[in-house]
Amino acid sequence: MSTHFGSTQPTHAAILEWVKKVASLTKPDMIFWCDGTEGEKSYLLSQAVQGGVLHPLNQKKWPGCYYHRSHPNDVARAEQHTFICTENKEEAGPTNNWTEPKKMYQKLYEILQGSMQGRTLFVVPYLMGPPQSTLSKVGIELTDSIYVVLNMRIMTRVGAVAYQQLFHENGFNRGIHSLLDCSLDRRFICHFPTDNAIISVGSGYGGNALLGKKCLALRIGSVLGKKQGWLAEHMLLLCVESPSGEKFYVAAAFPSACGKTNFAMMIPPKALQGWTITTIGDDIAWMHPGSDGRLHAINPETGYFGVIPGTSRQSNPNAMRCIEKDTLFTNVAVTLDGDVWWEGKDGTPPDNLLDWQGNPWDPKSEKKAAHPNGRFTASMYNNPMLAGEVDNPQGVPIDAIIFGGRRATTIPLVFEAFNWIHGVYIGSTVSSEMTAAAFGETGQVRRDPMAMLPFCGYNMGSYFQHWLNIGRRIATPPRIFHVNLFRKDNDGNYLWPGYSENMRILKWVIGRCKNSTGASESPIGWIPSYQDLDWAGLSEVTPEKFDQLMKIDPEEWFHELTSQGELFMKIYPTLPKELIYQRELLIARL
């Protein structure tokens, strides 16, 4: 077994010993210690192309860009194969799959025995969060997937910067990943919160294999946050700047594939001249109470792993500019001359397309050319509207938190919580129609509290209590809102135009934070009247259509409350009594 060291060699004995132990188990032909340099990137890309893992695109059209095809059964998060391994089942809670740690370690070590023979074990040291931030975390992922390495180099800070952040030898997350043969019966994504460890086998898909993303940033991160007094959340972060130069910071939680990246990269309509939005993050926020009595947040990532179908110059021009160079495309359609295409892309489909599985695609067929959960991995530094605060070790103070989901009925366009506790209740009852980002029946409505149901690493009832506890530690808490950008009329047409027009909702949110915009009390929270929103340049949404968007139907809401009750009953032993009381108040108001 040979070893390759990059420009940075670790000196931490705990790291060297752990890598040696894993190599002895998995028996790779070579150990490759990644250093994050540009020279290393060029070498890895050439090796990935040579091995057929990546395919170069037309470098004139797409400089530095490549595409990758997944195994057909490995195209989304594998929630049914994801486990939280704690000493007792109650810690994981009824919404997580659970196995006793000792038993799961034994099973995984048997699977990993000799699993990297004929392969290279890559050692990927990475930093989640800005350098020198007290909230940043170090992880080391050991993987036999060169695709994972190249993605991690985009999504995190890889190399010496990670070692420099290690304040004590054992202060890092241990992650092991092996692709195996993508067999479903040997697919496990396992989290060991007590050990700050992750083991993932049998999948190469981003959320299952890029261990810094959902695994460390959310599942392990949420447990660390509970212990240390902060929040690890599935939230975008953006900065809204008014025409007068005043800045406001907003965090928003939407379930996967519900427009989160589009929202984070929104360009305000021309009619709202002078308003600017810059992006801090599109997926994850780590939030902690600051000494100023406010909630502060950082984005722990350095890239975007975004859903690409539906992305166009109309829906998300900033994302289109992000992906113009140095981007990895996964499960998109390609042309014979090295161009890429996906449903929703600008223009008509080109001739002679190969679909995401490499087969000739017939435009008349019902099959999609790109997979509905096709992805792009692009550096956040490609974003022309990247916020200047993105690398601030202190993070940014949050003015507003927005929860949202994809609902065709019942939920109004926007409303505001009465207070922090009511806001936690609103977040705890978020629901959305399922999307292609997770296995399941697309379109089926399911509860997704705070958009965290698949990502919370401990009991959901305790997680709600942690939110309530955090609120007690903040003298000036953010205001909490809920949006539904996907409400439809009786003919199935969307009532709200979305995209850049979402700025009108954000402007009302900012106005509420400044106490300068009106609202009316309703059974579910504070709601805007038609005149409270800025309609300059938008005649499409008439007062009548706005009434449909804001309609609160008591009968529909009683069905909604029944559905909410199903989740609450599931976690009842740990459900905070404050949330039960909030539900009873809502019933009374309705």
Q: How many CB atoms lie within 10 A of CB 520?
A: 11
Active site residue 258: yes
For residue 138, which phi and psi values (nearest 5 degrees)? -105, 135
The torsion of the CA quartet 137, 142, 147, 152, rounded to 10 degrees, works out to 10
Q: What would you report as the CA-atom Rg of the chain, rounded to the nearest whole angstrom?
A: 23
The torsion of the CA quartet 424, 221, 400, 403, rounded to 10 degrees, works out to -60
CA distances from 257 to 260, 261, 306, 436 (A): 7, 8, 8, 7
Q: Which residue has the tokens 């890559």?
A: 122
DSSP states along 190-258: EEEGGGTEEEEES--SHHHH-TIIIIIIIIIHHHHHHHHT-EEES-EEEEEE-TTS-EEEEEEE--TTS
**Positions of E strands within 254-294:** 276-281, 285-289
For 349-401, give the secondary structure using H, E and C.
CCCCCECCCCCECCCCCCCCCCCCCCEEEEEHHHCCCECHHHHCCCCEECCEE
Distance CA 380, CA 399 (A): 23
In degrees, rounded to 5, the angle at the alpha carbon of residue 256 between the alpha carbons of residues 449 and 462 is 25
The token pair at 347 is: 């223009």
Distance CA 288, CA 229 (A): 7
| Residue pair 279/428 in contact by the 8 Å Cβ criterion | no
Choose the catalytic residue: 215, 239, 258, 513.
258
Single-letter amino acid, residue 424:
V
The token pair at 32 is: 């490759």
Using left for φ > 0, alpha for ψ between -120 and 50, and beta otherwise, residue 562 falls in alpha
Single-letter amino acid, residue 466:
H
Single-letter amino acid, residue 199:
I
Q: Which residue has the tokens 């009750």?
A: 565
- Report the SS3 class of residue 482: strand
User: Which residues share a beta bridge with 159?
Assistant: none
- Report the SS3 class of residue 321: helix
Q: Would you name the residues annotated as active-site residues?
A: 258
